[in-house]
Amino acid sequence: MKTLVIFYSYTGTAKRIALNYAVQNAAETLEILDVKRPGVLKAYTSGCVAAMQGKPWAIRPLAVNPGAYNRLVLFVPVWANNLPPAVNALLALLPGGKKIEVKAVSGSGRSGQKCKERLGSLLQAKGCTLESYTDLKQSDALRELQ
């Protein structure tokens, strides 16, 4: 079974966790990159507002085709209990009919039911299934890497 670990990371935490997971599971990786990386102030202000509104930001073209994989595992940070704008943009590009596992990385380890439900609805609208949803507390996940 071909597995693709897809991740978006503003601070680098979700990236470290996702890359470790990919190595442990012999998976390929795909990093989601902003067309123009926002500065810290913009990310934490208008980025959080866009996240709460479910709006996307422009991302670079995907380096690989997620449709070519049997299993998709998505590592995402949580912004204001929602998906970051870059992840909203990614969801529009995912092929339909895929089962997707999500690992939500946050400081508290509790992304909230709202984030899970919104993600499930967005995936369902694409014809995808939210196979599993796991909250990861970033400090615990990083400690496991050491």
Tens-digit pLDDT string for the chain (146 aa): 799 999 999 889 999 999 999 999 999 999 999 998 888 888 888 888 888 888 999 999 999 999 999 999 999 998 888 889 999 999 989 999 999 999 998 876 677 677 888 888 889 998 999 999 988 887 777 777 65
* DSSP character at residue 67: G
Instruction: Determine the pLDDT at residue 145.
Output: 66
Domains in the chain (CATH in brackets) are 3-145 (3.40.50.360)
Structure tokens at 1: 């079974």
Task: Determine the straight-line distance between the first and last CA of the chain, rounded to whole angstroms.
Answer: 28
Q: For the whole model, what pTM was predicted?
A: 0.90
Contact 85, 55 (CB under 8 A): yes
SS3 at position 146 = coil
| pLDDT at residue 146 in the model | 56
Q: What pLDDT score does 30 carry?
A: 97
pLDDT at 40: 84
Q: Which residues of 92-128 are buried (b: 16+ CB within 10 A; e: fewer)?
A: eebeeebebbbbbbbeebebbeebeebbbebbeebeb
- pLDDT score recorded for residue 109: 65
